[in-house]
Structure 1
Amino acid sequence: MSRFALLPALLLASLATPALALPATYTPDPSHTYAYFEVGHLGYSIQRGRFDKLGGKIRLDGASQQGVIDIMIDAASISTGFPKRDEALRGEEFFNVARFPTLVYRSTTLKFVGERPISATGTLTLLGVSKPVELKISQFYCAPHPMMKKDMCGAEASASIKRSEFGMNRYMPGIGDDIKISVQIEAFKD
């Protein structure tokens, strides 16, 4: 291939990949975005559940290695596969959704390798208590969505917290204090 034929091919390839180098804002796709949690149960097993409703905004500027993650989780959308347990988790002893309907994570700084974010430092607010939490971003990918033909970024992120630090102490130590939170997110560029 001559260098003159190579130039148009390179230009077309650059258009096929969204430029993370430009500042952009993304909105999570609710059909592909969930927050999961894991907690020990009486030493027998690790119990898992998820929150079915999550929203927010993610702003990324890979060139300047800056960004902001704002995520709001609907606490009442908790789902463990057992409706009676879900009702108990929505109650005053656990998430108290009548008084605290959302969990909120807001980043203060993002750490990048090149133009790819690898972690976020921020604040998680749960039950009215705000504590610093670091999210580790284990996967991150941006490209035009093959069917929607819109720019999209996706990520897998995780953090560990102690529920007691947020005032959620019921049934400890039988129900563990250490909670692992994982978030799978796909977000369309606004």
Structure 2
Amino acid sequence: MVRWLGNRTNRGQRTGPLAAIQTPPSAGVLSCRVLDPVSEPVPHAEFAVSDARGRKVVSGGTDPYGSFMATVPAGEYRLAVSAEGFTPYRANAVVGENSLASLGDVTLQVARPPELPSPGDWDIEPTHSSIAFTARHIGLARIHGRFNTFAGVVRIADPMEQSAMHVVIDAASIDTNVRMRDDHLRSADFLDVERFPTLEFYSDRFQHRGGMRWAVTGALSLHGVTRTVTLDAEYLGIGNGIEGEVRAACRATTELRRDDFTVSWQTMLARGIAVVGPSIRIDLDVQIVQKQVGAGAE
């Protein structure tokens, strides 16, 4: 940890950008500029300032020039700065009354690229994975649900961008924890599981967006209609399970519009408010386990 002491400056003597800042008598200003290893500013880096007890006091993002400035009560603080693709930075600072505590230029180091899964076929492990969704109800509350039964395979390639995946979801396994609502969702008004018993997603377009972020674009078949969907995915890395098996994990989100898949049942309240919102948010938490060579062979 690096300890920085603020310069005690009379408020009336401030010049430059601090001259216009009005702070309470018992407060000071904490600031720094965040740079990358080639001294270019890092915009939208996230910062969090916590007090000596670990309680968050203020947080936010750097401006387009990589700078941030926060007015805080006089005291001792811990600063954490993070940005996609960089190693987090931490420092201590002491902010005095009516003074500026400047950390100057903070240089973030490029993070070590995460280890990717080795090439081959990996099964989606349903016990430690989930496919969840959120819908708006009467324009106010959110209804949360999930699909309880699904299976899938991810074929990891080298390079990773040439990978592919195929997921099959049992439509009748939809579960919002309310039986009457679930029966309605299975009916012809919504998923029509008698005619369309599965949802399927296939992708062979993996695009690296930097750091841990990936875009996975593919075809989603739902309710007899197929549309292109992109998952905003965050790769979480590799670890070992309790039996020593190698696992990889990611989480992903996307948003679907019901009308795109002709799931257009709707009824309106007296005030013209739709009972069910037009879009559905999808949240995926996925763990995959590599298939053993020769598994299933006699």
TM-score, normalised with respect to structure 1:
0.83
1:187 aligned partner, one-letter code: I
% identical equivalent positions = 27
More helix by share: 1
Q: Please give the residue correspondences for 1:1-150 in structure 2 after superposition, counting only pairs within 5 Å.
A: 20=116, 22-112=118-208, 118-145=214-241, 147-150=242-245
Q: Is the 8 A contact 1:22 1:63 kept in 2?
A: no
- Give the corresponding residue for 2:80: none
After superposition, the Cα gap between the structure-2 partners of 1:143 and 1:61, relative to the gap in structure 1 and judged at 3 Å, is farther
- Give the corresponding residue for 1:185: 286
For structure 1, the residue ranges without an aligned partner over 5 or more in a row are 1-18
1:136 aligned partner, one-letter code: D
Q: Is the 8 A contact 2:220 2:228 kept in 1?
A: yes
Range that drifts further, 94-103 or 63-72: 63-72
- Give the corresponding residue for 2:30: none
The secondary structure found in structure 2 opposite 1:31 is: helix
The secondary structure found in structure 1 opposite 2:126 is: coil
Say which of 131, 153, 157 aligns to 2:248.
153
Higher relative contact order (CA closer than 8 Å, sequence separation 6+): 1
Q: Is the 8 A contact 2:212 2:234 kept in 1?
A: no
For structure 2, the residue ranges without an aligned partner over 5 or more in a row are 1-114, 268-273, 292-298
Q: Which has the larger radius of gyration?
A: 2
Range that drifts further, 161-170 or 107-116: 107-116
The secondary structure found in structure 2 opposite 1:169 is: coil
Q: Is the 8 A contact 2:117 2:248 kept in 1?
A: no
CA RMSD of aligned residues (A): 2.0
Which contiguous aligned blocks of 4+ residues in structure 1 show a shift greater than 6 angstroms?
none
User: What is the distance in 1 between the residues matched to 2:116 and 2:168?
Assistant: 24
The secondary structure found in structure 1 opposite 2:139 is: coil
- Offset, 1:176: 0.7
Q: Is the 8 A contact 1:21 1:62 kept in 2?
A: no
After superposition, the Cα gap between the structure-2 partners of 1:64 and 1:183, relative to the gap in structure 1 and judged at 3 Å, is closer
Q: Is the 8 A contact 1:34 1:53 kept in 2?
A: no
User: What is the distance in 1 between the residues matched to 2:210 and 2:155?
Assistant: 16
Say which of 277, 281, 287 aligns to 1:176.
277
Q: Is the 8 A contact 1:63 1:115 kept in 2?
A: no
